[in-house]
Amino acid sequence: MRIPQSEKELTFWERIYFPEVFRGLAITAKHFVVNMIRHTLRLLGFKNVPKGAVTYQYPEEIRPISTRLRTMHRLARRADGSPRCVACMMCETVCPASCIYIVAGEHPDPNIEKVPIRFDIDLGKCIFCGYCVEACPEDAIRMDTGIYNFAAYTREGMVLTLEELLAHEPAPYVSVPTQDKAPDPGPLAKSQPVSAPASA
């Protein structure tokens, strides 16, 4: 893609270089001083002062995530532990990345009839658009596990199988804390490879 270039001519002061360097340094220094003052004043009890900027020391320190963030998928279970999914293939149809693979089978209960015997999601292809969650008529597929830091050494390792999807649990609701307190990483701090499912 061609990046449009600015046609603007540099002024004399920009061309002699050093004034611009010092201007940049001044901006950095301004941020440092302003945040330093804000943090100090709030520490001294001035609650009306705006909050200062914070840097999270990821991965030691985990930033709190919003509950509506689309994270790794899971499949909801019925009371007996079987998948709630009826393999209607709506998610597979709507998926813009074609990363869902479903093979349907017969369910012993004629009132349920259809059940997936294979349900793979290739996270290497998934774009986390959440259309599958939108399309699901049974509310069976959800993206609320809170797991977003997954990686694998192979392409095959990025594939979630039916068993892994069923084993995932939803992330418990954690309100986004104010920045006064150190955020509790809690269950959101789960960091694991895809191939090792979270204990149910």
Partner 1 sequence: MPTLKIDGKEVWVEPGTNVLEAAKKLGIEIPHYCYHPALKVAGSCRMCLVEIEGMPKLQISCHTKAADGMVVWTNTEKVRKARQAVLEFLLVDHPLDCPVCDQAGECYLQIYYMEHGLYKSRLRENKIKKEKAKPIGKHIILDQERCILCSRCVRFTREVTKTFELGIFNRGNRSVVDLYPGISELQNRYQGNLADICPVGALTDRNFRFQTRVWYLQQAKSICPGCSRGCNIEVDYNISREYKAGGRRIPRIRPRHNPKVNGYWMCDDGRYGYKYVDALDRILLPRRLDEGEPVELSWPAAYTMAADLLSEATKEGADKVGVLLSAKMTNEELFAARKLFSSLGVSRIGFRVEPKEPGYEDDLLIKADKNPNTKGAELLELGLGAGKSDVSALLDAAEAGEVDTVVIFNEDLSKSSEAERAEAVLPKLGRVIYVGTNWNATAAKADLVLPMATFVEQEGTFTNFEGRVQRFWKAVEPLGESRTGLSILAGLATALGLEPVSENAEEVFAELAEQVPAFFRGSATRNLVSTGNWLRARLGRR
- Kindly state whether residue 88 participates in binding partner 1, applying the rule CB under 8 A: yes
Residue matched to tokens 């499912």: 197
Q: Does 160 bind partner 1 (CB under 8 A)?
A: no
Q: Which residues of 104-141 are buried (b: 16+ CB within 10 A; e: fewer)?
A: beebeeeeeeebbeebbbbbeebeeeebbbebbeeebb
How far apart, in whole angstroms, are the C-alpha atoms of residue 152 and residue 157?
Answer: 5
Residues 48 to 77 in contact with partner 1, rule: CB under 8 A: none
Rounded Cα distance between 7 and 2, Å, is 14
Considering only residues 59, 105, 177, 186, which one is a binding residue for partner 1 as defined by CB under 8 A?
Answer: 105
Asked if 133 interacts with partner 1 (CB under 8 A), we say: no
Return contacts of 33-40, CB within 8 angstroms, 24+ apart: none
Stretch in the footprint of partner 1 (CB under 8 A) among 44-52, 81-89, 153-161, 166-174: 81-89
Helix (H) or strand (E) holding 133: helix 131-135
**Is there binding between residue 172 and partner 1 (CB under 8 A)?**
no
Instruction: Output 62 or 86, the one with its CB closest to partner 1.
Output: 86
Size of the site for partner 1 (CB under 8 A): 20
The Cα 30–Cα 132 span in angstroms is: 46
Q: Is there binding between residue 179 and partner 1 (CB under 8 A)? A: no
Applying CB under 8 A, among 20, 122, 138, 169 the residue interacting with partner 1 is 138
* Minimal distance, residue 153 CB to partner 1, in Å: 24
- Residue 60 one-letter amino acid: E
134 lies in the site for partner 1, by CB under 8 A = no
Q: Is 97 in the site for partner 1 (CB under 8 A)?
A: no
User: What does the binding site for partner 1 look like in residue numbers (CB under 8 A)?
Assistant: 86-90, 92-93, 101, 103-106, 110-114, 118, 137-138
